[in-house]
Amino acid sequence: MARILVVEDDPVAARVTELLLQRAGHQPVLARDFLSGKAALGEPMDAVILDLNLPGGNGLDLLRHLREELGSNTAVLILSALKQEDILIKGLKLGATDFLTKPFSPQELILRLERYL
């Protein structure tokens, strides 16, 4: 069982992701905004599922915090409705492990995530 931080402001998307992870045998930890996501990163996580548009900040800034300030190499799967290539490239350059656009296949999300665990 992996402990996975889900940083997602949309309550429906957060709940769906939480249920998918639970059904796959993982322990999701939910954060609904930038500050709660940043606080949760202070605890050990096996992986992070990260939305980019968050209340109080940007998911890319949270990724930067994880990589540069915390020095963590935890797997980060960006899950976002944003599809612009420049955002995808910026996320990968900042150290994202993978990028999946919304809407997404539940099976694909779990398979991609488990590939990095």
Taking the domains of the chain in order of start, what are their residue ranges?
Answer: 3-116
pLDDT of residue 83: 77
pLDDT band per the 50, 70, 90 thresholds, residue 26:
very high
Instruction: State the Cα angle at 76 between 28 and 52, rounded to 5°.
Output: 90
CA distance 34 to 8: 9
pTM score over 0.85: yes
**Residue at 68: amino acid letter:** E
pLDDT of residue 81: 85
pLDDT per position as a tens digit, 61-116:
999 999 998 888 899 999 988 778 888 899 999 999 999 988 889 999 999 999 99
pLDDT band per the 50, 70, 90 thresholds, residue 6:
very high
Architecture of domain 3-116: 3-Layer(aba) Sandwich (3.40)
